[in-house]
Amino acid sequence: MVKNWMQKVDKSMKKKGTEGAFTRWCHNKGFKSVHKCAVETKSRYKDQKWKRAENPRAALRDYRRATLALVFEKAAKKERHHRR
């Protein structure tokens, strides 16, 4: 069931052409690690601080992308662990 929604999200990102957008955004911000970028972005906008950002809509998008990146990373780690 978990894989089902993740597959739908992956398919949707490919269709929209947004696959890899967060990775590119992180590298443009100077981060070498997408994980570090996602953690920092989430902590910057936690507790709905994105509402007070200069551009709240973009901040919310970045927060959501960071959350999704961390969820996908966690699922990938679980999948690797179960394959052993």
Classify residue 18: in a domain, yes or no: no
pLDDT class of 39 with cuts at 50, 70, 90 = very high
pLDDT at 73: 86
Instruction: Give the count of domains, the chain.
Output: 1
- Phi then psi dihedrals of residue 80, to 5 deg: -65, -40
In a domain, 74, yes or no: yes
pLDDT at 66: 94
Residue 63's pLDDT is 93
Residue 30 pLDDT greater than 90, yes or no: yes
What is the pLDDT at residue 78? Answer: 77
Give residue 30's domain range: 23-83
Residue 14 lies in a domain: no
Does 9 map to a domain?
no
What is the pTM assigned to this prediction? Answer: 0.76
CA atoms within 13 A on the CB side of 66: 22
Look up tokens 């269709």; give the residue. Answer: 15
- Domain assignment of residue 27, yes or no: yes
Q: Is 12 domain-assigned?
A: no
Domain membership flag for residue 76: yes
